Amino acid sequence: MDTRLLRTFAALARTGSFTATAAELHLAQSTVTVQVRTLERELGTRLFDRMPTGAVPTSAGRRLLTEAEDVLDAEARLRAAAAGVAGAHGTPEGQVALGAGESLCASRLPRVIASLARSHPGIELNLHPAGSAAAIEGLRAGRLDLALLLEQRVDHADLSAACLGREPLVYLSAPDHPLAGRTVGWAELARQNFFVHEEGCTYSDHLVRTLRTVPGPPPRLTRFGSIEAARSCVAAGLGLTLLPRATVERQLAEGTLAEVHGPDIPPVPVQLTRARRRWTSPAAQAVATELAGLIPPGD
pLDDT of 297 reads 57
Over the stretch 2-30, which tens digit does the pLDDT of each residue have? 889 998 998 899 889 999 999 888 899 99
In a domain, 78, yes or no: yes
pLDDT of amino acid 252: 95
- What share of the chain in percent tops pLDDT 70? 95
Whether 176 is in a domain gets the answer: yes
Q: Where are the beta strands (DSSP E) in 52-179?
A: 54-57, 94-100, 123-129, 146-150, 159-167, 169-173
Sheet strands side by side (includes 241-244) = 241-244, 169-173, 258-260
Provide the 10 A C-beta neighbour count for residue 11: 22
b/e per residue, 185-218, with b = 16+ CB within 10 A? eeeebbebebbbbeeebbbbebbbeebeebeeee
Same domain as 251, residue 108: no
Q: Classify residue 297: in a domain, yes or no.
A: no
Q: Are residues 137 and 273 in the same domain?
A: yes
Residues 259 and 121 in one domain: no
The mean predicted confidence, pLDDT, of the chain is 88
Residue 139 lies in a domain: yes
> 69 with 182, same domain?
no
Q: For residues 142 and 254, state if they share a domain.
A: no
Residue 199: its pLDDT value, please? 80
- How many CA atoms lie less than 13 Å away from 257 in the CB half-sphere? 26
Beta strands in the chain (DSSP E): 48-51, 54-57, 94-100, 123-129, 146-150, 159-167, 169-173, 193-197, 220-224, 241-244, 258-260, 268-275
CATH at 104: 3.40.190.10
> Number of folded domains in the chain?
3
The confidence band for 66, taking pLDDT boundaries of 50, 70 and 90, is confident
Examine residue 296 and state whether it is found in any structural domain, yes or no.
no
Task: Verify that 185 and 243 share a domain, yes or no.
Answer: yes
pTM of full prediction above 0.85: no
How many Å apart are CA 138 and CA 99, to the nearest integer? Answer: 8
Q: Which residues pair with 291 in a beta bridge?
A: none
Last residue of a domain, one of 56, 83, 110: 83
pLDDT of residue 83: 59
Band of pLDDT at residue 80, cut at 50, 70 and 90 = low
Same domain, 47 and 100: no
Task: Verify that 242 and 284 share a domain, yes or no.
Answer: no
**Residue-number span of the structural domain to which 244 is assigned:** 169-265
Pairing between strand 220-224 and 193-197? Answer: parallel
Q: With 50 as the cut, is the pLDDT of residue 298 above it?
A: no
Q: Give the pLDDT confidence of 139-179 residue by residue, as tens digits.
A: 887 789 999 998 888 888 889 999 999 989 999 999 999 99
* Domain boundary pick from 27, 49, 83: 83
pLDDT greater than 80 at residue 193: yes
In a domain, 299, yes or no: no
The CATH number of the domain holding residue 16 is 1.10.10.10
- With 70 as the cut, is the pLDDT of residue 90 above it? no
